[in-house]
Structure 1
Amino acid sequence: MDIKDLLLEGLNSAPKYIDVSCRYDEQGSKYDEECENLEEYYYYRAEKHLVRTTVTDVVSNLDMPLKIFELGCGNTKKTQIFLDEILRHESSIEYSPNDVSEDFLEKTCENLFAIYGSRLKVDTMVGDLMKVLPKIRNYRGRKLLLWLGGLQCFPLNVQSKILSSIASTLQGHDVCLMSTDVTQSRETIEKAYMDFDEFKPFSKLYKNGVHVINRELKSNIDLSKFELEGRYVENKDVSSASYIQVWLRSLAQQSYVLETVGKTVTFGKGEKLLLHNGNGMSHKYTFEQLEHLFASVKLQIVKKWDNEHSVLMLVKRITS
């Protein structure tokens, strides 16, 4: 879906929302990098440490050679740990990174070329996951789908759809290597994600979707007339997960013209503009919840590595 259509769909819904993916333009991706450097943001450090300490074992479980397709590649700092290890044994790697921001993806690839040169054969995929997965499915060689920290960002109902599409993309000996958050401490989670100081990177990242609306739909939504709020929802049911909800609460009755589409959006006093679609974002799982989720879409965890906050899983399609 075009970003303008995605934004408009959210603003026409009840409750109104901004899809999480919409905040990751070039500026949003920079805010995301700033979040990684926060002392209280545990997940990035835990995930990166897990990748570093397990990379040799992980790569030894891959059937080489293969082509790597990465979903939501970001700045590829964690990915480079895998690339470095693979290039210890292989002369070159075919690598196809995906991101929703074409500008950010172009700069990421420039950095990769500066590091690896011709040893990394890169072809990019711009767009959301459901758009690029059918293209990956058409590749007939052996492949690895790499998806680091992405699953947790989507609503529960969307997670199942994406995982089903991943399952249909995996053929034969293909595998998917993914990571996600398994943190169970409420205090740790709230400290990391729910400091809504307007000068903090997470607040800037959360609000960036409004800046995208103003740019893409030619509007002038005034963030000073909204208050950023949120809560952590804990859920131990095996068919669910825990998650975070974040929203902007309208401080007054207000309306804004969306010039690009010739429509007006109105917010009542106290109305919430959710900064995600569906139940929430940044999901936190138990291992039982992950196994249940994967089994429901015919995926199987064949090996996993974990620490206090992060789990790295090698997943394959169940064929029988």
Structure 2
Amino acid sequence: MSDFALSLAPDAAAVAQAWLQSLKAERRMSPKTLEAYARDFGQFAQFMAEHLGGAPGTAELSALTVSDFRAFLARRRTQGVESRTLARQLSGLRSFYRHAEKVGLFRNAALSAIRAPKLPHAVPKPVSPEKAATLVKADALALPDTPRWVLARDEAVLTLLYACGLRISEALALSPSQAGGGFLTITGKGNKTRIVPLLPVARAAVARYLDLCPFALAPKEPMFRGLKGGTLNARNIQMLVARLRGALGLPETATPHALRHSFASHLLAHGADLRVIQELLGHASLSTTQAYTEVNRAHLLEQYRKAHPRR
């Protein structure tokens, strides 16, 4: 049962379910994105049920005022929700109401008067090539009894993040059959498919792990495994990098995703075309990729201030 099913009247719950189905079929949203939208809408529905004194139906949803929507956002803010999450929830609500209007059920003009919260200007924070290479080795915390296959696994995962610019979820979803050639076919956010070169260093790291892995791996199942043989969890890699960060004296910004940022920034610094980087990262919009030009400018200014005699 969906999160919102108990908080909405049946007619409104049916509209919400049809909306999510349309996002899946027409916009091809990933299961995780759909899960986030459903969770966000569930929180909205639960608040409105409390706010209005009963489960709202389509009539009540169409009659909500600017004050009602603002009350929901204010409640979420008091619960410690950040601006980026609030903006996503507002975007989801607008999508829901657009769907309801599109299929001729109801509309609500009040939502257009709500301004999205201002988001902080975030610039990607890559690590230097030297620090990235040290981090990828993943052996700074190795103990004498650490299994060799675990070290090889960790190095292979981190190498894929840095050498191929993958997200953690993308790296951990790879199967042995995908990693056998010179290119990876990756299905990323929004089910967008891209082709990424599998560099020799990454291919060698993966081959070393596959050679040492003690578990039987099906050709088309995820190849990275935990100690007991189950599929490796993203949290394991996040915790590994957090420990490596402390051992290597790296900043808090040195996360697994920072290796993806480093992939893009280092390519740009060495003259790669921005459109090519966009394709390699799987960004739907070039404006997302353009954030790395700011990183490059900041680095140039830093070097200029250090080296120029009239600084």
TM bracket (short chain): under 0.3
| Larger radius of gyration between Structure 1 and Structure 2 | 2
Q: Going by fraction, where is helix more abundant, 1 or 2?
A: 2
TM-score relative to the length of structure 1: 0.24
Q: Going by fraction, where is strand more abundant, 1 or 2?
A: 1
TM-score relative to the length of structure 2: 0.25
Higher relative contact order (CA 8 A, sep 6+): 1
